A and B are shown apart, each in its own frame.
Chain A
């Protein structure tokens, strides 16, 4: 049995290279066709995301197994990228390390953001596409199905996926979703055009926010952003009106002096009937006076510092879970490898038992023909013979199982084929 993965990921290679070697959804069928032509005996699974490009191969026998250079050539020919431009960034794993690597990837231990949830769906999609393109087989099926199970186990038995680690996700997930039950009927006001506002809008839209107002000192910039987000422009001069009407306010101007002092917001609140408002002040320095927080019970104000403290706590908590997750992965790797090796010994054990069963049947038939008076004790005699056979077979089969725990016992299997004349 041969398992191998050749890959490049965010850990060892830059984004530019990964983009050149990545496979889009439309390229996948063509890529699998090329792999099958080049390696007809191998099972293959392609995993291509923004942070990694990986090719898993597996084969029962060791004839014409695709090597590191073979797969590098495949990448090069498919994407028309010279091998020397990326060969040093292409990593390889084989044997149990392949299993360990895939399990770590699926459990998001190898992700840019530890514990991020998207990778499982990406692994599942990659496996599904391999099946649809008839590229996977028994070994890769076992490998990927187990990887998805391991990812689930890590997620449920550790706190690796608990807690959010990006500012916008903490703001919307930990706070926004507890202040409001739903966002599809809420008005979101974006003041400024910072990068964090983009991420915040993305999370808010994922929660269902549809009404997005964009307010910026520069009208053209506001218009461009509004079009990008499917929102509407609001004139900056009437900011007080928008402050009164908005349910969610995301501000990223970092203007000096403070854009919205306490009194200004208090007056705006009076027009807004004191409804709950979620204010995300992502500006540095702050756009909203911190005293606004205490204006009334329904004002919820968060600045970058508040959110970064929580992000850091969550990152540390996730890090503490890494050892537990690695422990689970080690267990599962041993278990899967044991099963795969044991599967390799299955046919030999079956043939051996069949061969001995045939001999036993022949000899007992002959015995009872010669000594018919033993018919009355047939059951006892057959049972004794069965026990004898089992005791005689026990040591070689036990030795085979013990060897299988360490790896496919090719030597012992060959010896048993020759000793007992077992045909394929």
Chain B
């Protein structure tokens, strides 16, 4: 049996790492930075162990195990990308931007439904498509997060350059062209992955048998993400026809568009407790009025 870790374990590690990153504004200390990376690495390991345990218990990959796990996979990926970049470039302080995002993701995940989606992915074929759908969305969300971070950095850097302020100690950021490039690519990649994720989700819904189908097109997450997708498609179209450099506009578009999408997804999850209704607990189904049951009920609750 695999030993357990708790969510508090890696949350605490990341909090300490974040606090150490903030000290870079006051002092340049190699040991402080190494300690921060150490805590972040330890947190990532603990989180990996946690996700593997959860997947093992649910007999599902972490991406499908539950909404809670899906959210933690997003946080895990963001943390992994951050760690790699922090090791490759010691002067870049991405931590001040990434840690709040990761901590917010973990905090949201903590509040979410932890019931496994065993019913939702009972059939192997459905599981494979489900994995594709969840993976595309996860990577799309990570790309969106990268886009938002680079957009925020762009706006801060642009403002500093416009107002002739010196670079702040501990907050050295890349050049505007580089940030704009990362921003643009993250936006495009995110849009592409989210589109494919959305499309695979629709395919999954249409291909499921009507009896026992636990995802409906009328679900709030489906409608909301569809609307946001339309807005993003419009924004992308505008970008493509734009002539001349539009760094600041792209940055604002990213923050409003992709940031709005992230807030919508997470906000909805917080409000309802899960992504798809199929993952409901027994308690939640029993609380529903008679005649509205939609398929088998899972016995495992939170």
Which residues from chain A sit less than 8 Å from chain B, CB to CB?
A: 156-159, 162-163, 170, 174-175, 177-181, 273-276, 293, 297-298, 300, 302, 306-307, 310, 313-314
- Inter-subunit contact B175/A181 (CB<8 Å): yes
* Most chain B CB atoms below 10 A, which of A174, A275, A302: A174
- Inter-subunit contact A314/B166 (CB<8 Å): yes
Cβ contacts under 8 Å, B161 to chain A: 175, 178-179, 300
- Inter-subunit contact A177/B166 (CB<8 Å): no
Q: How far is the CB of A400 from chain B (nearest CB, A)?
A: 36
- Inter-subunit contact B164/A306 (CB<8 Å): yes
- A274-B243 Cα distance, complex, nearest whole Å: 10
Within 8 A of A (CB), among B142-187: 157-158, 160-162, 164, 166-167, 169, 173-178
B237 adjacent to chain A (CB < 8 Å): no
Which residues from chain B sit less than 8 Å from chain A, CB to CB?
A: 28-30, 157-158, 160-162, 164, 166-167, 169, 173-178, 243-245, 247-248
- Inter-subunit contact A275/B244 (CB<8 Å): yes
- Inter-subunit contact A276/B245 (CB<8 Å): yes
- A178-B160 Cα distance, complex, nearest whole Å: 10
- For the complex with contacts A157-B28, A162-B169, A274-B245, 11 further pairs of A-B residues with Cβ separation under 8 Å are A157-B29, A159-B169, A162-B28, A163-B166, A178-B160, A181-B178, A273-B244, A275-B244, A275-B245, A297-B158, A298-B245
Cβ contacts under 8 Å, B244 to chain A: 273-275
Cβ contacts under 8 Å, A302 to chain B: 164
- Inter-subunit contact B166/A180 (CB<8 Å): no
Cβ contacts under 8 Å, A306 to chain B: 164
CB nearest to B30 among chain A residues: A156
- Inter-subunit contact B166/A276 (CB<8 Å): no
Q: List 25 A-B contacts (CB under 8 A).
A: A156-B30, A159-B28, A162-B28, A170-B166, A174-B166, A175-B164, A178-B157, A178-B167, A178-B174, A178-B175, A179-B176, A180-B176, A181-B175, A181-B177, A181-B178, A273-B244, A274-B245, A275-B244, A275-B245, A276-B245, A293-B162, A297-B247, A298-B245, A307-B164, A314-B166
Cβ contacts under 8 Å, A159 to chain B: 28, 169
- Inter-subunit contact B162/A300 (CB<8 Å): yes
Given contacts A162-B28, A300-B161, A306-B164, contact A177 B175 (CB under 8 A): yes
- A157-B30 Cα distance, complex, nearest whole Å: 8
